[in-house]
Amino acid sequence: MGELAVVVRLLGGLGNQMFQYAAGRALADRWGCSLKLDLTHFDQDPQRTYNLDGLNIRAEIATTDELRSVNRLSYNSVISKLLSLYPRKGRNVKRYRLFKERKFVFDETLIDQRPPVYLAGYWQSERYFSDFAAAIRRDFSINFNLDSEARRHLESIKNTSSISLHVRRGDYVTNPIAARYHGVCSLDYYLTAANYIAAQVSEPHFFVFSDDIKWVTDNLRLPYVTTFVNFDNKKHCPIVDMQLMKVCKHHVIANSSFSWWGAWLNPSQHKVVVAPKKWFNHASADTKDLLPYSWVCL
């Protein structure tokens, strides 16, 4: 009959993939079963690649047979539920029931989904995995050694009143669809957020991260000690940025899932996290479950 498992579809950038993994990993851990990753979406999206291989995740890549066995009918269909009880004839693979994200807010029915199940969605809320927070943070530690330049930044971060400040640009600027949907946070937002945290921190030192660090260096002016984290024109490695961000003591984030994880991975009970009140340009998505309650929205 094949083993019981949760399969989760990965798509988007690093931050989105981490949300998808975390929701699937937590569900698999609840049932004591394995987690498998569907990477086929990246064959259709040349702008995105699989990014979790630099982390200590606990998952396997789903096989072609397993992906063929996903029942593409509606997740709540009676027929789907009946078919999920039976394996495909002639194959040692269980039929996976499709469970699709219905809304942006936390959907408590995901918690009760019984494997074998295939998850298709973004799952952008810590409520899907908060019961397994320590395990998720371990999974999202890097599985390689930082180079000497990154280690120098790390030591500086550890030895100062460090505050990460992340500026997301990239496709939020260059892609017209992403620009309309997301938009970028204003320089006024970053100054207001920096002032808010600096008022609570002695000798604040801001470490600025971005996927367009040259633009930020040229345009962002803070009245505090500031280090623009730039790796001498080497290929930008988002995982390294995130690992440095999470070690900072406090955080100013952008309207970005990457930014979100840079702050969330810091386990400190005393961290101050400032996030933009406006996450999307449109008002149709209810973001009430996106940001943890302790974070400050400005």
Q: What is the pLDDT of residues 187-239, one digit of tens each?
A: 999 999 999 999 999 999 999 999 888 999 999 999 999 999 988 656 668 99
Question: Which residues partner with 55 through β-bridges?
Answer: 142
- Residue 248: per-residue pLDDT: 98
Angle at 17 between CA 12 and CA 23, to 5 degrees: 135
Give me the CATH code for the 148-297 domain, please. 3.40.50
Structure pTM? 0.90
Q: How far apart are alpha carbons 36 and 283 in whole angstroms?
A: 34
Q: What is the pLDDT of residues 70-126, one digit of tens each?
A: 866 544 444 444 444 444 444 455 689 999 999 889 999 999 999 999 999 999 999
Q: Which residues contact 54 (CB under 8 A, 6 or more apart)?
A: 142, 143, 144, 239
Q: What is the pLDDT of residues 243-298, one digit of tens each?
A: 999 999 999 999 999 999 999 999 999 999 999 998 877 666 788 999 999 999 99
- Residue 35: per-residue pLDDT: 98
With contact defined as beta carbons under 8 Å apart, do 47 and 13 qualify?
Answer: no
Q: Which residues contact 96 (CB under 8 A, 6 or more apart)?
A: 7, 66, 69, 70, 71, 84, 116, 117, 118
Q: What is the pLDDT of residues 39-81, one digit of tens each?
A: 999 998 888 899 999 999 999 999 998 898 886 654 444 444 4
